Homo-oligomer: A and B are copies of this chain.
Amino acid sequence: MTECSGDLRARRRMRTADTIRKAALRLVVTRGIDNVTTEMIAHEAGISLRTFFNYFAFKEEALMPPPIDFDEGAIACFNEGKGSLLNDVATLLLTQFEDVDEDRAQLRVLFELSQTHPKLVLVRDKAFQQYEEIICKLIAGRLKVAPDALRPRLMAACIAGAIKVAMSGWVRSSEGTAADHVRRALAALETLFSEN
C-alpha cells in the first residue's frame, strides 16, 4: 500500500461526506428540519441509511460546516508574526469569511434554525468549539507555549466567541459582509476590558 492509496481513499471519503452535507442542507432548507429524516438524507445522497452513520455520528452533524484547513503559507506567515497578534489572527481567519456571502441564504437559514431548534443550537456551538481549538493551537504555536496554557486558551475562547457574536449579528442585520462583521468584532477585542 503506497501513500497514494490512503490519500485517494481519504479524498473519496471527503467527497462523499460533502455530498451528504449538501444533500442534508438542501432537504432541510426546502422541507424544514422537522420533516427531514436521516433516511431521506441518505436517499438524496445516494447512499444507504447505514452508511450515513459511517460518516456522521448523528443526524445533525451533517449540517455542521466541514473542518477548516488553512493554507500552509498563510500559517507560516502567521507564525513569523509581522504585526500585533490580534491583527495577524484576524488576517488569517478572515480569509475564511471572504466567500461566505454567496451562501448567505443557506447560512442564514441555518442560523435561524439554530435559534428555534434546540438541537441545532447544540450543533452550532460544537462547531465553534472545534474552531476554538484550532485557533488555540495556532496561537500557542506562535507564542511558543503549550496549547493548554492559559493565555492561548483564553485568547482562543475570546476570538471564537467574538466570531460567533459577529456571525450572529450578521445574519440578523443584513448590512455589510460577514467579513466586515468579523473584522469589527475582532478589532473591538483589543480595548474591550481595558478602557473603563
Q: What distance in Å separates the Cβ of A165 from its nearest Cβ neighbour in chain B?
A: 5
Q: How many residues of A contact B (CB 8 A)?
A: 41
How far is B57's CA from A119's CA once the two chains are assembled, in angstroms?
10
Contact with B along A103-114 (1 / 0, CB 8 A): 000000000000
Instruction: List chain B residues, Cβ under 8 A from A160.
Output: 161
- Which stretch (A14-22, A25-33, A69-77, A149-157) binds chain B? A149-157
- In chain B, what residue has the closest Cβ to A87? B193
Instruction: List chain B residues, Cβ under 8 A from A128.
Output: 125
Instruction: List chain B residues, Cβ under 8 A from A151.
Output: 188, 192
How far is B152's CA from A169's CA once the two chains are assembled, in angstroms?
13
- In chain B, what residue has the closest Cβ to A119? B58
- In chain B, what residue has the closest Cβ to A129? B125
Instruction: List chain B residues, Cβ under 8 A from A85.
Output: 193, 196
> With an 8 A cutoff between CB atoms, is A118 at the interface?
yes
Residues of A at under 8 Å CB distance from B? 57-58, 84-86, 118-119, 121-123, 125-126, 128-129, 132, 148, 150-151, 153-155, 157-158, 160-162, 164-165, 168-169, 172, 184-185, 188-194, 196
Give the 10 A-B CB pairs with smallest separation, nearest first: A157-B161, A122-B122, A125-B125, A158-B158, A161-B161, A153-B165, A190-B193, A194-B194, A86-B193, A157-B165
Query: What are 15 A-B residue pairs whose CB atoms fall within 8 Å in the complex?
Result: A58-B119, A85-B193, A121-B129, A125-B129, A150-B185, A151-B192, A153-B165, A154-B162, A154-B165, A154-B185, A154-B188, A154-B189, A157-B162, A189-B193, A191-B194
